[in-house]
Structure 1
Amino acid sequence: MTPILHHIPGARSFRILWLLQEMGITPEIKEWKIQDGSMRSPDFLSKSPAGRIPALEIDGEVIYESGAITEYLCDTRPEHGLGRAPGDPERIPFLEAMHYSETIGHLIAGLNLQWIFLRNPEDRSDTVVKIEAKRLAATLAPIEALLGRQDHILASGFSAADTMYGFSLTAAGRYVRLEQFPNIQAYIARMADRPAHKAAKAMDGERNFPGKDFYEVEA
């Protein structure tokens, strides 16, 4: 049976779309919109209790949270070499990548709320957006240093750690000027040049939520 990916174009479910393409799996895509309330429906909440994407229907299961989906796909399809099993020397950095990428994603989600999803823009807090943008930049600094030493998140080469980080680092560029992180910029370009990434972008669809490419935070 063809897997079903519950997806919003331009959102973190792209991580799973990209990973599936790296594995040669093309899912059926069920597209959702944040603004129309459909993600609070009983049907969607039965698949993702927090009303968030991604959720993936595969192997007779429904899995939510991109880190959990990534680990499941890597564990059940080890022939692709995209995960790191218990006992592997890179198991710890692989697991750290699953969660640190969500630390970055959490800060992006908070900034998305402030800049994009508040019904009344006057409710935006200048203090909050300044602090969160600085925190986001701080999370990028160790990744910038890491990518100065190696081409991928794991020293051995491309893995699902890259499909998790790649989206987070790209999305961070909406709130942090990435020119100050040249190693990250070069990494994003390398990832975008992968055939599976290009294929996933072709399937991603047009972003269906509002927003600008960059939000300037005044000092």
Structure 2
Amino acid sequence: MKLHHLTNSRSHRVLWMLEELGLPYELVRYKRESTLLAPDALKRVHPLGSSPVLEDNGLVLAESGAILEYLQETYDIESRFKPASTQSRADYRFWLHYAESSLMPLMVMKTVFGNLDKPPVPETFRTIGAMFGEAVQKTWLNRRIDIHVNFIEKHLGLHEWFAGDAISCADFQMSFPVIAMLARSLPEELPHTRRWLTAVESRVAWQKAIEVGGPLALST
């Protein structure tokens, strides 16, 4: 099994799950370009040229959610990371899809509109870019993000993990956008979400994934 891993990226989720499952794997590391994009070398692995990409028994699989589900279905024999109850299973499915379809697009937009005064934006356009980015954030984007922040905080105030009382692939999938989300919040805010992140970071498998794959240093 081989994981193509871009530093400081979504592929940390897959690396974390591999460590939780105790599976042997080869890690192929890539560094971001100065543009913060993935290097062209990843296009030789998968046409999309993004990370993570998992190679296993002839299968080449992209998209972190799809990879997590594949690992769970193939190697999680005791279903440690997929809940059994009907309600928890519904939450599990929801958060697996919500992470990339609802939350991450907002986090990406936050990064883009917050950096229109920096390279690679041409210097001539940076002043107007900063004004435009700030206007979009104040009039629309921040309000949308706040809805999601409060939604997650309320959910984690009622549940220990995203899909109930036990950790699951839903938590693996939500880890990346939640860390990005918390980068814009004050320390005293969101106690339930921060409690969840503390529980995540205390896990040996998470710490091993950081050791092997590098830290997650996200900002918005």
Q: Are residue 107 (structure 1) and residue 106 (structure 2) matched?
A: yes
SS at match of 2:156: helix
Specify whether residues 60 and 187 from structure 1 end up closer, same or farther in structure 2 by C-alpha distance, changes over 3 A only.
Answer: same
Q: What is the deviation of 1:206?
A: 5.5
- Kept after mapping to 1: 8 A contact 2:30/2:39: no
Per-residue CA distance 1:91-120 (angstroms, 9 max, x = gap): 322111111111222222222233457512
Q: Which residue of 1 aligns with 2:27?
A: 29
- Aligned-residue Cα RMSD (Å) equals 2.7
Larger Rg: 2
- Kept after mapping to 1: 8 A contact 2:3/2:52: yes
Q: Which residue of 2 aligns with 1:202?
A: 211
SS at match of 2:49: coil
Specify whether residues 132 and 175 from structure 1 end up closer, same or farther in structure 2 by C-alpha distance, changes over 3 A only.
Answer: farther
Q: Are residue 61 (structure 1) and residue 62 (structure 2) matched?
A: no
Q: What is the deviation of 1:83?
A: 4.2
Per-residue CA distance 1:119-178 (angstroms, 9 max, x = gap): 124434112333333322321212211111121111141111111112221121223335
Q: Are residue 163 (structure 1) and residue 161 (structure 2) matched?
A: no
- Kept after mapping to 1: 8 A contact 2:114/2:134: no
Deviates more, 1:156-165 or 1:183-192: 156-165
- Kept after mapping to 1: 8 A contact 2:89/2:163: no
Specify whether residues 160 and 175 from structure 1 end up closer, same or farther in structure 2 by C-alpha distance, changes over 3 A only.
Answer: same
- Kept after mapping to 2: 8 A contact 1:5/1:56: yes
Q: Which residue of 2 aligns with 1:119?
A: 120
Residue identity (%): 25
CA distance in 2: counterparts of 1:112 and 1:200, whole angstroms: 25
| Count of matched residue pairs | 207
Specify whether residues 58 and 141 from structure 1 end up closer, same or farther in structure 2 by C-alpha distance, changes over 3 A only.
Answer: same
Q: Which residue of 2 aligns with 1:147?
A: 156
Specify whether residues 81 and 138 from structure 1 end up closer, same or farther in structure 2 by C-alpha distance, changes over 3 A only.
Answer: same
CA distance in 1: counterparts of 2:48 and 2:188, whole angstroms: 34
Query: What are the ranges of 5 or more consecutive residues in structure 2 without an aligned counterpart?
Result: none
CA distance in 2: counterparts of 1:47 and 1:177, whole angstroms: 39
CA distance in 1: counterparts of 2:4 and 2:56, whole angstroms: 11
Query: What are the ranges of 5 or more consecutive residues in structure 1 without an aligned counterpart?
Result: none
CA distance in 2: counterparts of 1:155 and 1:76, whole angstroms: 22
- Kept after mapping to 2: 8 A contact 1:4/1:58: yes
Specify whether residues 60 and 88 from structure 1 end up closer, same or farther in structure 2 by C-alpha distance, changes over 3 A only.
Answer: farther
SS at match of 2:77: helix
